[in-house]
Structure 1
Amino acid sequence: MGYNHADMTLKEVQKDYTQESVSDNPRPIGPYYAYNDRYLEIRGGMFENFRGILTWISLLVFFIPFSSGFYCVDSFLILYFDETNNAVGHVISIIFYSIIFLPTSYLCFRYFRYIYRFELFTIRHIRVRFNRVTRQVYIQRPKYCGGTVVFKWEHIMPSNFGESGSDMGGTNMVNLMTFHPYKTGFPIAHSVGIGKNTYNPQDYKDEWEFIRRYMEHGPDTLPKPRLSTHLPMPFHGFSGHVSPMIHAAKNAPTFWMYILLIPVFLILLPFYTVGYFISECLCWQPRWSKVIRQAGKPGKPIPKETTLSDYPPKVQQAILESRLEWGVRDEKTGKWVDYGNG
């Protein structure tokens, strides 16, 4: 995508994408969590269709310190209550399992947490809230992924189609939105994927048009989306996993390949779906901050837009070191534009 390779043009970043209609069929594909006169809220994040794989891998890794700790405690309790005649064997057992438990527990919490927190013991779903009263966009993320950020609605750039992106049809991607530093003044871009994965490029335009018209004209002339729950549900992972499998079956080159995909359906689909549900159960859905919950109500303050000073000094330095990757090229002269980001 253009904005990932520092070759976005001046025309692309100057354009106000909120004023251009891209579809005659605005559709709320979702999943949506809230929809009213003040704001709508949609699921964010990417790779939800793969969620569950890391959960099973993590549970397998966690089994090592858990089982060793269990057997260590079990042997200790047997010795403590004097329920054995083989005290030496249980002492050896305690030492052996302690040797396994202590280092594996340390490795899990010190290093493996950077892996399992993609799906476990973190925010259940990233959420994106579009507030039409304050004309702002709020993105709720874990602190280790940048935390909650606030941007102006006018600064949003759809990235799957049009001048700011490329045709992403057939790639099973979510609808990508970007806030480029040329518009926001933040040293680097913020991007977020919203909604469901799709193979149909028109879905990107229809949902973006739905959100655009909601923000610009209100909800009166738009179809009301079906709201999803924040709670974990066994069927949440089914649709996300079955869609790419059905797509693979439809595009099977031969009849025999189609037949071979049937056992894949029968094995992988339950595997993914159960893993997805476990992941949801072991995560939580935090509330928005009070200022964002009240944003748009009469007499309530407007949330402050995100700036570099909102981050710790070390993070600020890392962000500044990355700012040169977000250059803008003047398509008329071919030269890079100095917009205070370098």
Structure 2
Amino acid sequence: MFVRENSYWLAWRRTPQKGRAHINLEGQKHWPAQRSGARGIAMPGRAAYAQNDAYLELCNPGWDLQWRAGMGNLFVLLPALVLIWMWYGLAVHPLLFDQIIFFFVVSDRVSSTDLWLGWFLLFPLALASAFMIFAWFHYMGMRTCFFTYARGRVRFNRLTRKVYVLRPDYCGGNVVLNWERMVALFEPEGTSASAKQTIKALALYHPPFDPNDPSAQGEDCVFVGPGLPGPQDAAYLWEYIRQYMEVGPSVDHVPADASATYKGIARYLHPDYTTYCGKPDARQYGLEQKPGFMETGFHMMSQATCSWPTFPKKWKSDSGVGEPEDRPVQAGAVMTALVYRAQGKLSKADEIEFLQHWGTAEAQQEATSREE
């Protein structure tokens, strides 16, 4: 789901000024890559695809709400299509074939009453239905849930000092941004009444290369991590990203007695903070998101039409570590490695290495003694 990205780029394409107003750029404090107002750091649950000494890769917001697109189609798309079909059957089809279609029943008895009903009653409803379908997919962003990328990927590479972003073309497209130019926004949704219905998330703003350029070349806004409760959580996530980029992993694991102001970045990220890098099956989605009644089914309906985005090889965005999908253990893609291990996809060497950092001594001993 790319609802936040879709709405921003719809506004920006009207004018860059509207795009800036959409993310509340002038209504809040800006936090550049050199500093942050957060006293501590925090990684939200199910936010990271991978973390290692070269890059930290995070998701974009909306994955946990994507099921709403599938459910919404039942209440928006289906009724609208029925009304359009009824208008066609009672108004258009009789003029073309001298027959009427009432739902799926075809009749040669065409009356003026049917035509009047079709054109004067159903035609306005059909027009309204067509606009509703357009608004649902275009303005409300539901097109970002079907026949596009399954999820967004934002990779922060501390070696190249770049931020690599994967997203649909109509949401800004794939892009490489300079880390030093990024500015964090903790309240990109603003404070208006309508903002309460907006997915809250950390936004990273990339200013235009030339502030006097009316076309605002280089201007961008990247929404990072899952949906968050509020600006304080966005501040903690920003400080986590900033500490990772500026200092890097400094400890193997965060101490159990770490204070609220502790800012050390763990080299081996806890599984609870990671998410599967790829299109999960229904069981994996349920494990991670703990959905309610029927939510998994609607989510799978949406996901089934989507493809998994991959970073262009010419970018060399992995700095030689490898992609999370291909080398989950080396890339620090913990959830992906757990899934691969359960499916028997890890080699013995990778399984042993994985258990050294994320497993128990007993599991490591069992893996070591097991024949391939």
* 1:210-289 paired onto structure 2 within 5 Å: 210-221=240-251, 222-223=265-266, 224-226=269-271, 227-229=274-276, 230-234=278-282, 236=285, 269-289=292-312
Unaligned runs of 5+ in 2: 1-17, 86-102, 107-129, 252-264, 322-372
Please give the secondary structure, in 2, of the residue aligned with 1:134: coil
The answer to whether the Cα contact below 8 Å between 2:183 and 2:206 also exists between their aligned partners in 1 is: yes
User: Structure 1 CA distance, aligned partners of 2:226 and 2:59?
Assistant: 8
Q: Quick one: which amino acid aligns to residue 211 of structure 1? A: I
> 2:144 aligned with 1:118, yes or no?
yes
The one of the two structures with greater contact order (alpha-carbon pairs below 8 A, sep at least 6) is 1
Measured after TM superposition, the shift of residue 295 of structure 1 is: 5.2
Q: Which moved more, 1:165-174 or 1:35-44?
A: 165-174
Counting matched residue pairs gives 235
Give the percent of matched residue pairs that are identical in Structure 1 and Structure 2: 25
> 2:183 aligned with 1:136, yes or no?
no
The answer to whether the Cα contact below 8 Å between 1:177 and 1:193 also exists between their aligned partners in 2 is: yes
User: What are the superposed Cα offsets for residues 152-184 of structure 1, whole Å, 9 maximum, x if unpaired?
Assistant: 0011111116xx997899976122221122679
Measured after TM superposition, the shift of residue 297 of structure 1 is: 4.3
User: What are the superposed Cα offsets for residues 179-223 of structure 1, whole Å, 9 maximum, x if unpaired?
Assistant: 122679853632222222222443212211111111101122313
Distance change >3 Å, CA 6–CA 58, structure 1 → 2:
closer
RMSD: 4.7
Q: Which position in structure 2 is the counterpart of 1:37?
A: 53
User: Structure 2 CA distance, aligned partners of 1:238 and 1:4?
Assistant: 38
Measured after TM superposition, the shift of residue 36 of structure 1 is: 1.2
The answer to whether the Cα contact below 8 Å between 1:170 and 1:198 also exists between their aligned partners in 2 is: no
> 2:203 aligned with 1:176, yes or no?
yes
User: Structure 2 CA distance, aligned partners of 1:63 and 1:5?
Assistant: 30
User: Structure 1 CA distance, aligned partners of 2:25 and 2:320?
Assistant: 37
The answer to whether the Cα contact below 8 Å between 1:50 and 1:241 also exists between their aligned partners in 2 is: no
Normalising to structure 1: TM-score of the pair? 0.54
> 2:222 aligned with 1:192, yes or no?
yes
The answer to whether the Cα contact below 8 Å between 1:134 and 1:295 also exists between their aligned partners in 2 is: no
User: Structure 2 CA distance, aligned partners of 1:165 and 1:53?
Assistant: 20
Q: Quick one: which amino acid aligns to residue 16 of structure 1? A: P
Q: Quick one: which amino acid aligns to residue 209 of structure 1? A: E
Normalising to structure 2: TM-score of the pair? 0.50
Distance change >3 Å, CA 188–CA 291, structure 1 → 2:
closer
Match of 2:232 among 180, 191, 202: 202
Q: Quick one: which amino acid aligns to residue 38 of structure 2? A: V
Measured after TM superposition, the shift of residue 135 of structure 1 is: 0.5
Please give the secondary structure, in 1, of the residue aligned with 2:227: strand
Q: Which position in structure 2 is the counterpart of 1:150?
A: 176
The answer to whether the Cα contact below 8 Å between 1:158 and 1:165 also exists between their aligned partners in 2 is: no
User: Structure 2 CA distance, aligned partners of 1:160 and 1:64?
Assistant: 40
User: Structure 2 CA distance, aligned partners of 1:170 and 1:18?
Assistant: 32
Please give the secondary structure, in 2, of the residue aligned with 1:193: strand
User: Structure 2 CA distance, aligned partners of 1:188 and 1:139?
Assistant: 14
Measured after TM superposition, the shift of residue 32 of structure 1 is: 1.0
